[in-house]
Amino acid sequence: MSFSSRLEIDLDKIKYNAAKVVEVCHKHGIEVLGVTKGFSAIPQIVTAVLEGGVDGLADARMENIIELRHEGISAPITLLRIPRLSDVENVVKYSDVSINSEIAVIRALGETAKAMGFRHQIILMVDVGDLREGIMIENVLAAVRAIVKVDGISLLGLGTNMGCFGGILPEYANLNILVELAKLIKNRLGITLQILSGGGTSSLLLVEKGEIPAGINQLRIGEGMLLGTDTTNNRAIDWLKNDAFILKAEVIEAKLKPSVPRGNIGRDAFGNVPEFADIGIRKKAIVALGKQDVYIEGLIPLDNNVTILGASSDHMILDITDIERSVRVGDELAFGVTYSGLLSASQSRYIKKVFRKDNKWLN
């Protein structure tokens, strides 16, 4: 099969990032789950994350978890998406822990686990403000009372998520809610929780500053470990590498063209009405990469003089007027990826994945 573009993946840099995140978190008594959903749990990358010393893995897709088990990955795996009621058998069979917020699903997990001779561990998710998944704070105690009555279930702890839907930033106050709830559960019900899972990459900043509440002892890290960035806090993490993934695409046209189309403008192929500024004749390039291949808004040209003008399903149009080198048909242009870009590129069957380890390209 011929590929029009490729994603170059430096496994050593991913291992380095994983090891640094683990080092920083372990100093504060926080275990690290390496989140694999951002790269579709590609086995070579999973291995690099594990070599970095993470305490376990986490993924939101049962399909990925099942594939990892079939690949022989025996590390503990947490399911990061609330289980489907229709899929509780797979959840119990393939994952060690699942996050939950629905008592009906927890009961079904318990029945299934008991029938299979297991006890399935769960983390009860608490909504502390982001309005994604989770029990509302005032209902947590009642939920725990119900959960402890379910045979086949072990309540491992509490967890929360921030930044993914509402964009809410982790702070001492909202993470400390988990700590206070754990104290309340112990005082009222006599139950000591093992895990307080305080979010993902966006919580790393609190760890760095020494401001994360005592008692938060788990983070689920994906973006920071992979890309060395923290989208929620709008920053590059300066102690991590941010170039482990490079997307390259071939130039299939390079010509001087006007900056504004001629004729009456309607909607483009995706139903949008494009707008253009008249800045004269520009040198433009088209690369063999489009919206069917990757999420275009998740790409960043590595040359600051290249501007992405837009894309159709098959072509991405670039302004290369100010680029210092000559660009010809057949040349390649390189792009960094954001987390959203990595999500789409990793699962695109039109983008070849190539791996580098110990300064050598792997076959």
User: What is the average pLDDT across 324-348?
Assistant: 96
Shared-domain flag, residues 169 and 307: no
Domain of residue 354, CATH code: 2.40.30
- Least confident range from 136-140, 266-270, 272-276: namely 266-270
For residue 291, the enclosing domain spans: 245-361
Distance of alpha carbon 140 from alpha carbon 145, whole angstroms: 9
Shared-domain flag, residues 59 and 149: yes
Shared-domain flag, residues 106 and 133: yes
Among 206, 235, 264, residue at a domain's last position: 235
Residue 240 lies in a domain: no
Shared-domain flag, residues 23 and 81: yes
158: which 2 tokens? 């509490």
Type of residue numbered 155: L
Among 235, 256, 290, residue at a domain's last position: 235
327: which 2 tokens? 């660009």
318: Cα separation from own chain's centroid: 27
CB proximity list for 315: less than 8 A, separation 6 or greater: 252, 286, 287, 288, 289, 290
Place of tokens 């104290």: 183
Residue 264 lies in a domain: yes
What local confidence, expressed as pLDDT, does residue 4 receive? 75
pLDDT digits 0-9 by tens, 205-225 = 999 999 999 999 999 999 999
Residue 2 lies in a domain: no
User: What is the average pLDDT across 155-181?
Assistant: 89
Residue 3 lies in a domain: no
CB proximity list for 44: less than 8 A, separation 6 or greater: 9, 11, 355, 362
Helix or strand run (H / E) with residue 209: helix 204-209
Shared-domain flag, residues 118 and 169: yes
Distance of alpha carbon 36 from alpha carbon 43, whole angstroms: 9
What local confidence, expressed as pLDDT, does residue 166 receive? 66
Place of tokens 């806090």: 233
Shared-domain flag, residues 58 and 186: yes
Contact present, 64 and 75 (Cβ < 8 Å): no
Residue 48 lies in a domain: yes
Of 222, 307, 216, 178, nearest to 49 (Cα)? 222
Shared-domain flag, residues 60 and 194: yes
Contact present, 195 and 156 (Cβ < 8 Å): yes
Q: Does pLDDT of 188 surpass 80?
A: yes
Shared-domain flag, residues 31 and 92: yes
Annotated catalytic sites, by residue? 37
Among 186, 203, 235, residue at a domain's last position: 235
Shared-domain flag, residues 25 and 162: yes
Of 2, 1, 5, nearest to 252 (Cα)? 5
Distance of alpha carbon 267 from alpha carbon 246, whole angstroms: 32
296: which 2 tokens? 């275009």
Domain of residue 29, CATH code: 3.20.20.10
Residue 321 lies in a domain: yes
User: What is the average pLDDT across 281-295?
Assistant: 96
pLDDT band at 1 (very low <50, low <70, confident <90, very high): low
Residue 277 lies in a domain: yes
What local confidence, expressed as pLDDT, does residue 275 receive? 77
Shared-domain flag, residues 301 and 266: yes
Could you tell me the pTM of the whole model?
A: 0.93
Q: Mean pLDDT of all residues in the chain? A: 94
End-to-end CA distance of the chain: 15
Indicate the number of domains in the chain: 2
pLDDT band at 127 (very low <50, low <70, confident <90, very high): very high
pLDDT digits 0-9 by tens, 294-319 = 999 999 999 999 999 999 999 999 99
Distance of alpha carbon 16 from alpha carbon 4, whole angstroms: 30
Shared-domain flag, residues 140 and 287: no
Residue 93 lies in a domain: yes
The string of DSSP codes covering 68-116 is HHHTT--S-EEE-SPPPGGGHHHHHHH-SEEEE--HHHHHHHHHHHHHT
Shared-domain flag, residues 230 and 253: no
